[in-house]
Amino acid sequence: MRRIWLSALLLAAAVAAGFLFFTERPVTVAVIQPEHDVALRIYGLGTVEAQILSRIGFEVGAALTRLSADAGDSVTKGQELAVLHSAVQEARVVRARAAVAANEANLARAEAALVRARVMLAQREVANQRLQGLAQRDVASIQRAEETQRDADVARADLAVAEADVAVIRAQGLDAAAALRQEEALLGHHRLLAPFDALLVTRHAEPGTVVKAGDPIFTLIDPATIWIQAYIDEERAGQLVRGQPGTIRLRSQPSAEFHGTIARIGIESDRVNEERRVWLTCADCPAEMFLGEQAEVRILTGTRASALMVPEVAITGFDGHRGTVWTVRDGRLARVELTLGVRDDRGRVEVTGGLPEGAAIVAHPPKGAAEGRRARGSEAP
């Protein structure tokens, strides 16, 4: 019986010793050390875009007869790109010109009639004055004087009619000239010209196609306005300011790094993806860029002469401002709530306050960590 009790006692002692060994044995953990000259960057994913992109077409509809450019061509402002069938419109221009010529002829006839009316009025007035004088001296009859007065009044009315006819025909001439300019403008709309120095991206139609007014014929861009559109998480977007520098990596050239600057920050966030758009101009990007190509950007939002950066995976209960981490203090593990600041593109957060003196933050908390367990810190790689 004593042997049984002795064996049980020895077994309990062994279990207790093992428990103490595994619970009181110092666990080695990696702790975070302050860093110097820390660059704070924000990561964003985006695409190559163009600030000036136009889908151009005709202002009138007809059949395409000629296309003078294709995708990939560089064109200059005013260069002809396409032409529509214009026989009908050319006939309208000829008709409008004939109307202008007819109006000029009518105006010439009306002006001649006006001159004739003025001459007739002058003649009738002279005859009337002479006859009125004779009638006052009883040399001519009163009836004859009344007739000459009537003739003068009729001549004066004829002059007024002639002047009105000239005014009407001149107004009709202005209308005919305006109609001619309109028809000539419509004829000009049958030629599609480049609105600026551009690079043609897409050709949407081919000769023989009947197009409607406004149908896109070409998509073109101003190659000088190519930039990078990137999407930034709203939680990090508050650090963005126009003019901040950034690095750009294109998917087609993953080994190359280009440099850009924030030119625009979107004033509206995506309500579904909770992201904000930014646009970066590129100072040294390749001469040949491809719209829609994926690009990665890292924007420099600031630097720190010295900072303590904690991996987000080591933080629990992180609400963007505060969170709890494991620390090693006086050789034992303890949980501490910290005040946290900005985040970087490596998934780390800056510690701004709350760390007790002499405590070191654990970079990767061990499995089964418990308050008060003995621990020994080593510098995290």
Tell me how far apart the alpha carbons of residues 204 and 117 are, in angstroms, rounded to a whole number: 64
Who's near 307: CB < 8 A, 6+ residues apart?
34, 35, 38, 350, 351
Return d(Cα 293, Cα 152) in angstroms, integer.
89
Q: pLDDT (tens digit, 9 = 90+) per residue, 284-330?
A: 998 888 999 999 999 999 999 999 999 988 898 888 889 999 998 88
DSSP string, 337-349: EEEEEEE-TTSEE
pLDDT of residue 139: 64
Cβ–Cβ < 8 Å for 22, 369: no
User: Closest Cα partner for 227 from 277, 300, 291?
Assistant: 291
Of 53 and 146, more confident: 53
DSSP 144-200: HHHHHHHHHHHHHHHHHHHHHHHHHHHHHHHHHHHHHHHHHHHHHTTEEE-SSSEEE
Write out pLDDT tens, residues 150-206: 878 888 888 899 899 999 999 999 999 999 999 999 999 999 999 999 999 999 999
pLDDT of 11 > 80? The answer is no
What span, in angstroms and rounded, lies between the C-alpha atoms of 297 and 259?
Answer: 9
Residue 78 zone, left/alpha/beta (φ > 0; ψ -120 to 50; rest): left
Give the count of beta carbons closer than 10 Å to the beta carbon of residue 130.
13
Evaluate if pTM is beyond 0.75: no
